[in-house]
Amino acid sequence: MVEFQVNGMYCIFCVYRLKAAIRAIDPWLKVGIDLKTRRVNVERPTDVATVERAMKHLGQIVGIRESDGKLGVSLGADQA
């Protein structure tokens, strides 16, 4: 499972857009989104970079939470 920290996700509409963008890559991916903590969990994506690009394309600031708990952050499309 890969966990993303998605800052800028404030409403249920953001949740639906993110889930749709990730499932457009692979409709069988299991996606869990916690709006309160702004975390997106994707179970076993084949290409993490593609999932990250899809979320950044929506203008979200995305960070991938590593197994050691550290967070790497990259800017979304409209912040770069």
Q: By percentage, how much of the chain surpasses pLDDT 70? A: 79
pLDDT value at 43 more than 70: yes
3-class secondary structure, 36? coil
pLDDT value at 71 more than 70: no
pLDDT value at 14 more than 60: yes
3-class secondary structure, 74? strand
| pTM of the predicted model as reported, rounded to 2 decimal places | 0.74
Q: Which CATH class is domain 2-57?
A: alpha beta
Q: Can you tell me the distance from the alpha carbon of 49 to that of 46, in angstroms, rounded to the nearest whole number?
A: 9
Residue ranges covered by each domain of the chain: 2-57
